Homo-oligomer: A and B are copies of this chain.
């Protein structure tokens, strides 16, 4: 679905990334596609280390890199002038440049010129396909799971990728369906839901999760949160269009307010589950939660079991910590779905 024709291996561009959150695209690539990453390019004041060897563009080229992938979100969304020089140099050296920013790379004259000179490609991940349909609301064959969140950055993408991997390991037919720029870079395809015109959101989600065999799972990366004052619409369109059979609620321990929106409290988990189900049932009355995915962050390992048990006691659902302990209990539920 909407494959992107990306050329690995990648040189990950980190610029002057200040922290791991800014560099989450690069870190996601290294975690899920280590075989596709040859090195990192960092400026002197960069505070993030992916663990890959540091390389300049010439070294990366000799190490086999075919693309420079922008692995950091620029502050304020716009490219700094020194970034443009580095990217133009990469294009001149024959590397494609891959970006997940809203701003199209070709709108920057220096990059457009360099791409024209070199015949290297400018690849904007955050450009949705043309001619998306209006949603039909019709039921499709196959099974779908959507990860939903109490907030942004709580583990929706990670949980979906971990579930996809666990199903594949069990021999269950499954696809990971990416809906954001990092997920699309990892998967090599998908639809950037946040850049879709509002009329076509649910239709895009239907396209992303087409008819499949009865026992096939589409594991869909969720976006935003129904409790987010800016992004709830993206979440709702994805929820309605996927018609998810199974939902997993993702939450970060200790998060009480929406990140960067201190006036917005995250409701209790039980209320979150109810809100999501009420919305999901519009297009799929049998939708249900199969579990909670808890990001326990920097809590000590000794505290984790109690945190997970507490969530299970409150919600009646199995609770996993995908980064620390994996997602096996949820994968078993999905593998046994039709039995």
- Interface residue SS majority, chain A: mixed
Return A85 CB to nearest CB of chain B, in Å: 25
Task: Sort A-B residue pairs by CB-CB distance and give the 5 closest, nearest first.
Answer: A137-B229, A233-B237, A135-B230, A194-B199, A233-B233
| Residues of A that sit less than 8 Å from B by CB | 102, 134-138, 193-199, 201-203, 226-227, 229-234, 236-237, 240, 258, 261, 263-264, 275, 278, 282-283
How far is B138's CA from A116's CA once the two chains are assembled, in angstroms?
44
With CB as the reference atom, state the residue of chain B lying closest to A283: B229
Whole-angstrom distance between the alpha carbons of A196 and B237 in the complex? 14
- Of the candidates B102, B195, B232, the one whose C-beta lies within 8 Å of that of A202 is B232
Whole-angstrom CA separation of A100 from B236 in the bound complex: 26
Nearest opposing residue in chain B for A194, CB measure: B199
Are the C-beta atoms of A233 and B264 separated by less than 8 Å?
Answer: no
Contacts of A137 on B, CB cut-off 8 Å? 229-230, 258, 261, 263-264
Known: A236-B236, A275-B278, A278-B275. A134 touches B198 (CB 8 A): no
Q: What chain B residues lie within 8 Å of A278 (beta carbons)?
A: 275, 278
Asked if residues B198 and A194 are in contact (CB atoms below 8 Å), the reply is yes
